[in-house]
A = this chain, B = another copy of it.
């Protein structure tokens, strides 16, 4: 919780902001240090001075959003498991715990919603390469916790089957984060411009249905989910 806040130096902060915009728009690989320093109206050595290297800057961008999001996810998960005790946490609640914290962190940046989610998508799709080891550990822990909590619903489903289902869910999430706007022109505008709230809800319903597929609803929460949410 210490180093991931705003930089005190105003120029360091400007660099970070412009870097985030460019990374979100075009990807980490493609954007150069010079692209960033030019956009931030700084000299070309500024990134290396403030962040040590390009990788250092990327690690900073990754940590700044991913760490608080993952902390929030973890506390949500803890709270849910405490709340439900030995009962399995409803699938929708688990999914919410994974995606809703993203929406909570938007305001920490000066990015537009559109760019913020796109940046998050690019961060997620790094999948380790370029993750600081702290974040990597955090992600791995979270993935295990999530998988285990989900597994309680499907005692008869193999670990393999469950891992693949989760893979599908993660893919749907990342792709949607990155390609929201592209989707609009692809579908000739049919995708509309729904609020994040609506999109999150759609995603959760879709993912939950996919996860439940082929499973005898042992815990009967396919009917009771909406009710349980009212507690």
Give me the interface of A with B, judged by CB distance under 8 Å.
Answer: 27, 29-30, 125, 127-128, 140, 143, 147, 159-165, 167-176, 179, 182-183, 186-187, 190-192, 194, 199, 202-203, 205-214
Contact = CB atoms under 8 A, between A and B. Distances in A.
| Most chain B Cβ neighbours within 10 Å, of A165, A186, A211 | A186
Give the oligomeric copy count: 2
Given A174-B171, A191-B167, A202-B161, A179 B210 contact: no
Given A147-B187, A182-B128, A186-B140, A199 B168 contact: no
A128 B185 CA distance: 11
| Most chain B Cβ neighbours within 10 Å, of A162, A165, A168, A194 | A168
Summarize A's interface: helix, strand, loop or mixed. helix
A203 B29 contact: no
B202 A210 contact: no
Given A210-B207, A213-B205, A213-B209, A172 B168 contact: yes
Contact of A167 (B128, B159, B179, B205): B179
A202 B164 contact: yes
Contact of A212 (B140, B208, B209): B209
B209 A160 contact: no
Nearest to A140: B186
A209 B207 CA distance: 9
A207 B128 CA distance: 27
A163 B213 CA distance: 21
Contacts of A207: 168, 210
